[in-house]
Amino acid sequence: MLSASKIKLIRSLSLKKFRKQYGLFIAEGDKTVKELPASDLEITEILALPQWIENNTIPATIPITPISPKELQRISALSTPNQAVAMVKIPDHDFKKVEPAKNLVLILDNIQDPGNLGTIIRTADWFGIMDVICSPETADIYNPKVIQATMGSFARVKVYYNDPRSVLQRLPQGTPVLGATLQGKSIHKTNLPSRGILITGNESKGISKELYPFITDEIFIPGKSGNKGADSLNAAVATGIILSAIIANRG
């Protein structure tokens, strides 16, 4: 049986304040928890239905606690809990290993919506982006809603919170910095680099003024000809389209 204090601890992790205090976050769902032991993340405990424990082989070093469906309901952040919950240490990725001179790195400039952030991490993972730098105002990747929306990609993509300006100021000379703007060149008519930085701007305000001077390649996603369509694209959709065009460019 779960102690009241354990339940309280787990539930508290839906708030950033307590995630920071304990250095932990929650990842849940059959598939996500099943895949976690193969990742670099450190699992401090798995809590799961007895049936799930029976059907899955989890390394002996990870403590497992069987729980009842009722207990699962109490600790889960999902409206429909799914068999297992893992408590995971918030990783401390080494920022010095990010190499925009060699790989494509994503900068998220104030992405507010947890679903958008999660979908962007998932999309980055699909396209093999390993590093995502979030501005401090960006939603927290360890928010249960974000973790859920990444569909497991939080375990592969490294996410850093840093001031984008300090990152951009220190870039090696000649590193391309892509940013989507309304005056940019068509992504289909530009030689898109497969290394450097891609900046994704805020959902309603776009890329912030302070970051504009760092953009070396303004790009644009052509839509309908004429101007009677939507004003803009969703931030995750736009990021996916640009990453796909970069892959297409690579041939």
Q: Contact positions toward its own copies, by CB under 8 A?
A: 115, 119, 122-123, 125-128, 151-153, 156, 187-188, 221-225, 228-234, 236-241, 244-245, 247-248, 251
Beta strand spans in the chain (E): 24-28, 43-48, 64-66, 84-89, 104-108, 131-134, 158-161, 177-186, 196-200, 217-220
Helix 114-126 to helix 235-250 angle (10° resolution) is 10
Minimum CB–partner distance for residue 225 and its own copies (Å): 7
In the complex with its own copies, which residue's Cβ is closer, 208 or 234? 234
Report the residue number, 100 or 240, with the smaller CB distance to its own copies. Answer: 240
Q: Rounded to the nearest whole angstrom, what is the least distance from the CB of residue 29 to its own copies in the complex?
A: 11
- Min CB(127)–its own copies separation in Å: 5
Instruction: Name which of 213, 214, 174, 211 is nearest 195 in CA terms.
Output: 174
Nearer Cβ to its own copies (64/124): 124
Comparing CA positions, the residue from 156, 169, 112 lying closest to residue 135 is 112
Least distance CB 75 / its own copies (angstroms): 23
Of 216 and 232, CB closest to its own copies: 232
Minimum gap (Å) between residue 229 Cβ and its own copies: 5
Give residue 128's region: left, alpha or beta (phi > 0; psi -120 to 50). Answer: left
Please answer whether residues 240 and 234 qualify as being in contact, where contact means their C-beta atoms are separated by less than 8 angstroms.
Answer: no
Q: Is 180 helix (H, G, I), strand (E, B) or coil?
A: strand
Non-local CB neighbours of 94 within 8 Å, separated by 6+ positions: none
| 130: its two tokens | 């390993």
Our CB check for its own copies shows the closer of 53 and 146 to be 146
3-state SS assignment for residue 17: helix
Nearer to its own copies, 5 or 191 (CB): 191
**What is the smallest separation between the CB atom of 198 and its own copies, expressed in angstroms?**
15
